[in-house]
Amino acid sequence: MDRNNWNLTMLCDFYELTMANGYFLKGFQDKITYFDIFFRRVPDGGGFAIAAGLEQLVDYIKNLHFSPEDIQYLRGREMFDEAFLDYLAHFRFTGDIWAVPEGTPIFPNEPILTVRAPAIQAQMVETYALLCINHQSLLATKANRVVRAADGRAVMEFGARRAQGAEGAVNGARAAYIGGAVGTATVLSDQVFGVPALGTMAHSWVQMFDSQLEAFKAYCQLYPQNAVLLVDTYNTLKSGVPDAIRAFNEVLKPMGIKKCGIRLDSGDITYLTKEARKMLDAAGWTECTITVSNSLDEYLIRDLLLQGAQINAFGVGERLITARSEPVFGGVYKLVAVEQDGQVVPKIKISENVTKITTPHYKKFYRFFGNDNGKAIADYLCVYDETVDDAKPLEIFDPDATWKKKVVHDFTAKEMQVPVFQNGVCVYDLPSLEEIRAYCKQQVDTLWDEVKRFDNPHKYYVDLSRKLWEIKYHLLDRTY
């Protein structure tokens, strides 16, 4: 089948179809269900993650359908009831979805996204919803770590050639931009999403000419406003930087252009950038920037800067676009409630592995901000019919303990999920990518530095209301 004719509705786990067929035959197709997407652990041992991928999920939900070719394929499996196949032929999403906006800092065990829909519809969106949220949240989180390590210096995403497939590269660049990268080497991500495409030359440009100086001068002549020269094709300090200086002097200086740069992609980056900086400054090119690349991540960047490396910008490739240090974001999709006789009935999943025990019910999700400094204090999960009065102290309960509680004072409560779909209609005005990126930066700034540490970050509180806590432990007692 031509890739352009793929129907992403069929990008689902096969069990979603077998369960849907079973739901239909058992008369559950109209049973209203509630599912949450949440994750259990922040990648890389970090203190928080960044939500991303909602825009792609919205596009998917809008286009949910089964084509005649899809129905014919399923009929050929000889497993599905003919009446169920007729139901799929008229299938569309009619439910409700709430989600945290893209760019929001998120923490384990809180609902990133909630689906309320008839059982078959809610079950069918599981795989793609997780794919969107897991992939882009992973890379937005990784990018934010890298950007924070760069400490105000520009970070460019350079990883398409090592990404897991075309969509991994394009959507990954989008996620990296949300996380704080200034742009990408991937042109298609600029064309589709508006992520600024950046880049200058590869070693092959230098090798194509009879001399390195000739290559540098040609590039400066062609792109005088964007002359960033790769200086490590042969010998960085003996010929690379001197030839770059000569090209700047002979081509850019007569034009009155002072903005230029060099890039290093190999060698002892700390030593080479220190020496290159001295050479550039001595030649009068004090405004010339130094960009480095070569398998960087947040830890290597942090170490380079601690060693005094003279760097203005970073190009980060494979270790960002693949989140190489921990390439899985463990988001899951779990049933938390059903509607029965007009009532919302909570459901819980219990496991011998305590971390896999779910928090039941259709929930609200608040974030508390201190009125004295605007910093995030804690996140608060409560039952959908509860309200928070932030004008008075509030008691909250640790979901992992039967005894631990605390009281918060002088705070403002913000409900974090926003309506995205109502009765199958998108009611959410998708923000621009620039707005998402700015929102992400603003929200990360509300976190305490202790939460943003790379190593042993402070545990951020995600606690329950008394009502939700009692419901959870009642279900645990009753089920056991």
- CATH, residue 13: 3.20.140.10
Q: Are residues 251 and 340 in the same domain?
A: no
**Which secondary structure element, helix H or strand E, spans residue 387, and what is its range?**
none
Q: Are residues 226 and 348 in the same domain?
A: no
Residue 383 lies in a domain: no
d(CA 225, CA 243): 18
480 pLDDT higher than 70: no
Please give the pLDDT value at position 1: 60
Please give the pLDDT value at position 401: 61
Give the chain's count of helices (H) and strands (E).
Answer: 16, 21
Band of pLDDT at residue 103, cut at 50, 70 and 90? very high
pLDDT tens per residue across span 157-216? 999 999 999 999 999 999 999 999 999 999 999 999 999 999 989 999 999 999 999 999
Q: Are residues 82 and 205 in the same domain?
A: no
The model carries a pTM of 0.95
Q: Are residues 9 and 129 in the same domain?
A: yes
pLDDT tens per residue across span 36-84? 999 999 999 999 999 999 999 999 999 999 999 999 999 999 999 999 9
Residue 405 lies in a domain: no
Starting from the edge strand earliest in sequence, which strands make up the sheet with 394-397, in order? Answer: 405-408, 394-397, 461-464, 376-383, 363-370, 411-415
Residue 120 lies in a domain: yes
Residue 379 lies in a domain: no
d(CA 463, CA 360): 13
Q: Are residues 130 and 237 in the same domain?
A: no
Q: Is the separation of the CB atoms in 372 and 415 below 8 Å?
A: no
Residue 219 lies in a domain: yes
Q: Are residues 100 and 21 in the same domain?
A: yes
Rounded to the nearest 10 degrees, the angle between the axes of helix 126-150 and helix 54-62 is 160
Q: Angle 318-321-327 (CA atoms, 0-180°, nearest 5)?
A: 95
Please give the pLDDT value at position 404: 65
Mean pLDDT across the chain: 95
331 pLDDT higher than 90: yes
Please give the pLDDT value at position 354: 85
Lowest mean pLDDT across 33-37, 117-121, 471-475: 471-475
2 pLDDT higher than 80: no
Q: Are residues 281 and 348 in the same domain?
A: no
Residue 13 lies in a domain: yes
* Nearest residue to 50 via CA among 408, 444, 428: 444
111 pLDDT higher than 60: yes
Q: Are residues 292 and 344 in the same domain?
A: no
Q: Are residues 51 and 118 in the same domain?
A: yes
pLDDT tens per residue across span 401-427? 655 677 888 999 999 999 999 999 999
Q: Are residues 261 and 344 in the same domain?
A: no
Lowest mean pLDDT across 237-251, 438-452, 453-467: 453-467
Residue 125 lies in a domain: yes
d(CA 37, CA 331): 6
Q: Are residues 220 and 294 in the same domain?
A: yes
Q: Are residues 335 and 277 in the same domain?
A: no
d(CA 337, CA 343): 10
Give the structural domain span for 16. Answer: 3-137+331-357+417-459
> What's the total number of domains in the chain?
2
* Nearest residue to 378 via CA among 386, 389, 370, 388: 370
How many Cα neighbours within 13 Å face the side chain of 354?
Answer: 3
Task: Pick the more confident residue, 480 or 445.
Answer: 445
> What mean pLDDT do residues 125-148 have?
98
Residue 388 lies in a domain: no
> What mean pLDDT do residues 349-374 have?
93
